[in-house]
Amino acid sequence: MTAAGPMRVIIDTDPGLDDAVAILHALNTPALAVEAVTAVAGNIGIATTTRNVGGLLAAMGRSDIPYAAGAAGPLAGDGRTEVAIHGADGLGGVPLPPAWVPPDSRSAMALMDAHLRAAPAGSLCILALGPLTNLAHLANEAPVAYARIGRIIAMGGTIDEPGNAGRFAEFNMAADPLAARMVLCGPVPVTLIPLDVTRRLRATPEDLDRLAAFGTLAATLAANLIRAYFAGHAERSSRPLHDPCVMLMAVAPALFGTERLRLAVDCDAHPGRLVQTADGAEIDVALRIDAGPALDHLWQGLGAAI
């Protein structure tokens, strides 16, 4: 929260287990004012990601926040999914209530357009948790509104870490490399949080016991979702919390160390790979995280009584 009040944000997302935890944190912290949520295909198909957004808003009693379906696939080529990680419902079988209200009749891009035009220029930040397809469409279809975004904070890419969508690329970048190239090279400043950082923010089963002990709806549901993240990976002592890093960067940037890198997005040999090059776009990239305090901050946000 700033002296002027909470940060005004639109969440663009493809829930997804870690997306869901990030959304619960955003809805449960007074430091963020969530004005809309837009769904994109990514972890699972667009019908499921949109339904999950509606369910998360219903679980938190937030029928006041509009949500809408966005792009059903990448700008070009075939999409990717992560059903093996997130389950057929995207949430590892963790139940959500049915949506209280249906999705907005407008597209995600039209919903973002309307909110950006109504808000003072630069006052709305986009928290991007999935492939950047919706933002690329917005840049194409409504460039005036797109230019009014204050900043995009996005989970995506890898600098030195091995990829999780092939050896060189991270899933969100690989799912729509053309969109990633458009957004990273566009007129809106971008803060990127790559696997180099998100793999450092990890939760153990003991951490989940500590989270559940807060007893709030957000903490209980988040703990159940992260436990589902262990399904099929019982041999692992911890699981990474990728997308919640975006919310933490928004509300507590001092937890991170960033560097300004010049990056290009490979759309050919290794789609989604980030390449450091002298003629690349200048991007603020998180390369360090104070992981222990970051996890504490995340748990406290989910455990806050609102």
Q: Which residues are catalytic?
A: 242
Beta strands across the sheet bearing 32-39? 67-69, 32-39, 7-13, 124-128, 149-155, 190-193, 281-289, 256-265, 274-276
Beta-bridge partner residues of 68: 38
Find the helix packing angle between 108-118 and 133-141, rounded to 10°: 60
Name the H helices within 128-238. Answer: 133-141, 143-146, 171-175, 177-184, 195-198, 205-212, 217-229
3-state secondary structure at position 66:
coil
Comparing CA positions, the residue from 26, 22, 32, 23 lying closest to residue 1 is 32
Distance CA 272, CA 194 (A): 12
Q: Per the structure block, which two tokens stand in for 12?
A: 């663009």
Q: Per the structure block, which two tokens stand in for 167?
A: 């050896």
Report the run of H or E that residue 118 belongs to, with start and end. Answer: helix 108-118
Distance CA 107, CA 270 (A): 31
Distance CA 168, CA 214 (A): 39
